Amino acid sequence: MLTVRNADVILIDPQTVAEGDLRIEEGVVTAGPPTTLDSPDSEELDAAGCVVTPGLVNAHHHLLQSAFRTLPGTRGVPMADWLPTMAAAYARARVDAELCAAAAAVGIAEGLLCGVTTVADHQLTWPAGLSAAASADLARAVAGSAARLGSRLVFVRGSARDDPQEAAASAEAVVQALVPGARGGVSDDGMLQVAVGPAGVHSDARETFELLGEVAARHGLRRRTQANEQVDVAIAAEKYGRRPIELLDEWGWLGPDVTLAHLCGVTPDEIARIAATGTTATHAPGCDLPMGWGIAPVAALRAAGIPVGLGTSGGGSNDAGHLLADARLAMQVAPLVGPPLAAAEVLEMSTSGSAAGLGRDDLGHLRPGAAGDLCVWDVSGVADAGVADPLAGLLWASPGRRPRHVVVAGRIVVRDYRLVNEPETDIVRSLRERMARAA
């Protein structure tokens, strides 16, 4: 049992704020008197002077890219130039399970230290001809990094120009390796989830979408893809004479189980179509804005009734996995493409909005029965002095803010700004050594 004591503010959900104590038993938030008094496993966290929020949910990451940050030729360039530059870097590094595990550990650790308790990893880079068994090994390696550090992981078997049959066989193997027999693709303890998703209509043909869709239908998996970035719109027009949303609709890839990342160049008619099908969205301003690839009209998406989550995307375009910093950026840039967004709205995107796109009603809030995932943010310092609304201050004040403590499933994984389960130095060394061997 874990009890968080004396919090100044507890954000239960977007409509509910409390103060005082919060208790987690057997990994979930509880109400009423404790059922396990004087348990030897009982722990307390003092949250005086702090704000407690649900754990942040990073709905769109590419963890492998944590090994490829600030590469020459990858900053502020058109996506048509960025993609082959990144592909060449992957080829030089010789992507394998060891590299994926090391890069994932870096990205997941960075996320935990920044308050991210669940990360969705859209794994798009698979060596050509990789067997289904080897695909399963790669997925296990990434999942192992998450388990070791104590993070929740959504592993998305993606595709970027992969052979459609190979991608489908690999996706099936990943399901059997990570969540065998789990309807909905979620492990019994909720720590691991599997989804599928091609990179987008710019890279994958209709057959890939259809075959991965069949895997999703067979196991009840969520489906995820990227839409309406620069290359996506241009190639769809050149190759099909159509726009991406129209193609996705025709190919059966709009619906309540689908989430679309980015959506920079989206029209009002397309927003209406996305809303009508129950499709959800993920905003990634920390990738799209600095690269010059566009800004999603988040206020318009939300006004249409589309649940919108938040993601960092990968280190190849956003060199940090700091979701709260990207939430701040989302507020700052929103007025460039529509009405401003309030801090409360963006906090909702970072928590329950992202969770909605994953089909996880146990995440992103702290109501009784919710997963015991939370962040304790110290707001007692000078950066928060004079702040009228401490929840809004989480985003507006103190850029680069990190949580003092982070809890996942009732277990403390960050204490006093440090990882609990593994030293940062070990994680960094593993990636550096693996990359050095590829040089």
**Quick one: tokens of 124?**
């798009």
pLDDT at 37 over 60: no
Task: Kindly indicate the confidence band of residue 184, based on its pLDDT and cuts at 50, 70 and 90.
Answer: very high
Whether 118 contacts 154, CB under 8 Å: yes
Task: Kindly indicate the confidence band of residue 225, based on its pLDDT and cuts at 50, 70 and 90.
Answer: very high
pLDDT of residue 32: 65
> Within 13 Å and on the Cβ side, how many CA atoms surround 400?
2
pLDDT at 36 over 60: no
Task: Kindly indicate the confidence band of residue 38, based on its pLDDT and cuts at 50, 70 and 90.
Answer: low
| Interatomic CA distance for residues 363 and 57, integer angstroms | 8
**Other beta carbons within 10 Å of 131:** 12
Summarize pLDDT for 213-224 with one digit per residue, the tens.
999 999 999 999
Look over the chain and give the mean of its residue pLDDT values, rounded to a whole number: 96
Going by C-alpha positions, the residue among 107, 193, 102 that lies closest to residue 155 is 193
pLDDT at 234 over 60: yes
Q: Which residues pair with 192 in a beta bridge?
A: 153
Q: Give the CATH fold of the 2-53+372-419 domain.
A: Urease, subunit C; domain 1 (2.30.40)
Pairing of strands 418-419, 411-415: antiparallel
Sequence-distant (≥ 6) Cβ neighbours of residue 168 within 8 angstroms: 208, 211, 212, 214, 215
**Other beta carbons within 10 Å of 420:** 15
pLDDT of residue 35: 58
Whether 123 contacts 64, CB under 8 Å: yes
pLDDT of residue 109: 98
| Interatomic CA distance for residues 42 and 39, integer angstroms | 5
The predicted model scores a pTM of: 0.97
Summarize pLDDT for 394-438 with one digit per residue, the tens.
999 999 999 999 999 999 999 999 999 999 999 999 999 999 998
Mean pLDDT of 177-192: 95
pLDDT of residue 183: 83
pLDDT of residue 439: 75
Going by C-alpha positions, the residue among 305, 367, 385 that lies closest to residue 28 is 367
Summarize pLDDT for 99-145 with one digit per residue, the tens.
999 999 999 999 999 999 999 999 999 999 999 999 999 999 999 99
Summarize pLDDT for 374-397 with one digit per residue, the tens.
999 999 999 999 999 999 999 999
pLDDT at 250 over 60: yes
pLDDT at 230 over 90: no
Going by C-alpha positions, the residue among 213, 195, 204, 200 that lies closest to residue 162 is 204
Residues 10, 16, 17, 22, Cα dihedral to 10°: -40
pLDDT of residue 356: 98
Domain ranges across the chain: 2-53+372-419
